[in-house]
Chain A
Amino acid sequence: MRVHVDVERCTGHARCWSVAPEVYELDDLGYNVTAVKEVPPGLEEQARKGALACPEQAITIED
């Protein structure tokens, strides 16, 4: 599984990180800097929840 974060769309709510801190990484202003990432095995559920939590719908998941 892979996550894609549209960093242009991200406005720093940090909801993704709050539910999935092991998947998504924030910069020091609180914006998601993950861009594209292969999700480590076992964290798929977290990754999915993080995407669902984003109010800007900036995260897409590729299975």
Chain B
Amino acid sequence: MRDAGRAPEVDFDVLAHRTLAANDAAWAGLRDCPVAWTPHHGGHWVISGYEAVAEAFRDWETFSSARTDPAVSSITISGARLPLLVPEELDPPEWHPVRRVLAALLSPQAAERLRPRARHWARVGIDRIIGSGRGELVGDLIFPVPAAVTLEWLGFPEADWPVFSHAFHDAAAYPHDTPEYRAAAAAGAAVLGRVTEEVAARVAEPRDDGLTAIACAEVDGTPIAREMAEALVFMTIGGGVDTTSALASAAVLHLHRHPDDRARLLAEPDLWDPATEEFLRVYPPARTHARTVTRDVEFGGCPMRAGDRVLLSEVAAGRDPEAFPDADRFVIDRFPNRHLAFGAGIHRCPGSHLARIVFRELMGELLERIPDYRIVEPEVVEYPNWSMIGGWAALPVAFTPGPRLGP
């Protein structure tokens, strides 16, 4: 659909570039065009310049996250049919009280209290492989650790955890025509069922866990609606599980390919803080989010109309040379580093504090105990799609075996 009013026009199909390298290259191709129109996927705006992405994230009144079709997710450009994402697909005023519930549970101070659990599960993960000298880091360590921290904190019994991993990780890790993907879809339905059961159980009998805090939360002075609590739990799992693991996968692979960066982190652990931000900038797990324009507006010199769809690119924002000197280079101690990997504005990731803590503990344990790991490059498997969430399905490794530490 060519539309003379909508310019500049680019030929950009975010779903067509299916490897990390191809997807990165496609975004790099838009560098001279911070705001543009593409005819793909029904026609939508693409915002890729740092300032424009940050401004659109912040202006929630113009760039709405709410659904226009109740069955279709508003924050993906592909029109995925997903359960409502709460609070992500709410605008104020509905957004505010629900967000508060989660923000309090995942504040920097609250997240810090989960650090020992992150360390514990990282230790368990390394113990699983350290005696053998080989393993598959995504399945043995990188995926299970964030999942265990999140699901244990929420209060799901351990027997549920593998089902949840299949639902969230396998749905992203396998192409749509595989049996694994179909099994993931079935697991997704099972997760929804378990969330419903556990929320009901906490309302009946409160405990000291995250599920209870959400199930028994008050919203504007009245008990939270049951469906709202269920949706919030579902989004906390979905948002919290596969994103942190994608970041750790990227870092593990990067440190394999860049031994100088690995050596510096081993010698100077203080570098972990800036390095974490640099991993987030260069390898953002959430690469894009979509919005819907609410009013006719000129934005970045472009005439946008109410109802237009917009794709915001966290990944392109992070590579904008106007915002980051030497933007294509990984600089381990880069500062300042105001990347948008956790978004910006009101929907900015409330899980960011926990994500940083889990990432740090997981990576610290890995580098400390198996500092000489080597990735078996020919067996590396990327996610089949980098349009929205990027990550790795398999990272086989070999290393010098070491002792298990035990529980």
Q: Which residues of A contact B (CB under 8 A)?
A: 11-15, 17-19, 26, 28-30, 49, 52-57
Contacts and interface: CB of A to CB of B under 8 A. Distances in A.
Contact of A28 (B109, B335, B339, B350): B109
A30 B58 contact: no
Contact of B344 (A18, A19, A56): A56
Contacts of B345: 11, 56
B49 to A, nearest CB: 15
User: Is chain A's interface secondary structure helix, strand, loop, or mixed overall?
Assistant: loop
Interface of B: 54, 58, 100, 103-104, 107-109, 273, 335-340, 342, 344-346, 348, 350, 352-353
Nearest to B348: A11
Nearest to B344: A55
A30 B107 contact: yes
B303 to A, nearest CB: 27
B109 A13 contact: no
A2 B387 CA distance: 43
Contacts of B58: 56
Contacts of A49: 335-336
A29 B108 CA distance: 8
Contacts of B344: 11, 55-56
B335 A30 contact: no
B336 A53 contact: yes
Nearest to B349: A13
Nearest to A11: B348
B107 A28 contact: yes
Contacts of B273: 18-19
Contacts of B350: 12
B108 A14 contact: yes
Nearest to A30: B107
A55 B339 contact: yes
Q: Which 3 A-B pairs have the closest CB atoms?
A: A52-B336, A30-B107, A29-B103
Given A11-B348, A26-B107, A55-B339, 20 more contacts: A11-B345, A11-B346, A13-B352, A14-B108, A14-B352, A18-B273, A19-B273, A26-B108, A28-B107, A28-B109, A29-B103, A49-B336, A52-B335, A52-B336, A52-B338, A53-B336, A53-B338, A54-B338, A55-B348, A56-B345
